[in-house]
A and B are shown apart, each in its own frame.
Chain A
């Protein structure tokens, strides 16, 4: 958001929470990609699929603000993905089209259980972000009631 904030208020909090939602949604996309390719022995570049890890970075919302608290408030951004270099399982299957000279097939390094746990974490984090925005909206509504 290009808006400059003067104090740590409801609007900066909403933007920060929304950045969390976008980042978690991106993480869920990455996990979905890992799960869908758990058995891909030959990806686009010919090698087995390498599972991806999302890379999150923190960006300050308002670095030049007068308010000391607001200077430290950061929003999160999914900067990119990083392939996981650890090798996957080798399975002996000489009849497989992607088997190497010794008859072993290299499978992707995707552990379905780990990915499912990550998916649940991302989903809970998304819910927490939504609940955070609802709280912020309700606080703002209470503040508006002061003037009535």
Chain B
């Protein structure tokens, strides 16, 4: 049982939102660049039964064969990749950045970041309480 599993997952989420914030502010910087299409970060969901099924450990049928360890914990990694925002509509100069749309995305992203940060703080303080034997400490 991983005591810090939840914290690790929240940490990954915080990383994602910070990276997305940087990308969205760079979109805003390119507000007047001709033919610029705004970018966004798309998350691939972590794990899932299909992915886990692909992570099959090699069975060692003969002691003389070399064994292979199953990749440990790789299927739990969430990754993200940069994509072009599909909902952006280009204007006359080919620039598809809308300041309202990007600003709203930044606001929503910040709300999610704040929520995750608050949850991490709560998790760690709960673990700290437990580590202090459940008494005030």
Q: A interface vs B, CB < 8 Å?
A: 1-2, 10-11, 14-15, 17-19, 21-22, 25, 129, 133, 137, 140-141, 143-145, 147-148
Contacts and interface: CB of A to CB of B under 8 A. Distances in A.
Contacts of A147: 118-119, 122
A17 B114 contact: no
B108 interface: yes
Contacts of A148: 118, 121-122
A33 to B, nearest CB: 12
Interface in B38-93: 86-87
Contacts of B111: 10-11, 14, 137, 140-141, 144
A141 B104 contact: no
A17 B100 CA distance: 9
A145 B117 CA distance: 11
A118 B46 CA distance: 49
Nearest to A23: B100
Contacts of B118: 144-145, 147-148
B107 A22 contact: no
A137 B113 CA distance: 12
B87 A18 contact: no
Given A18-B101, A144-B115, A148-B122, A1 B107 contact: no
Contacts of B108: 10-11, 14-15
A147 B105 CA distance: 24
A17 to B, nearest CB: 7
Nearest to A10: B111
B107 A133 contact: yes
A143 B118 CA distance: 11
22 contacts: A1-B87, A1-B105, A2-B86, A2-B87, A10-B108, A11-B108, A11-B112, A14-B108, A17-B104, A18-B100, A18-B101, A21-B100, A22-B98, A129-B100, A137-B111, A140-B114, A144-B115, A144-B118, A145-B118, A147-B119, A147-B122, A148-B121
Contacts of B100: 18, 21-22, 25, 129
Query: Which has the most chain A C-beta neighbours within 10 Å: B99, B118, B122?
Result: B118
Contact of B104 (A2, A15, A144, A145): A15
Contact of A14 (B87, B107, B114): B107
A10 B108 CA distance: 8
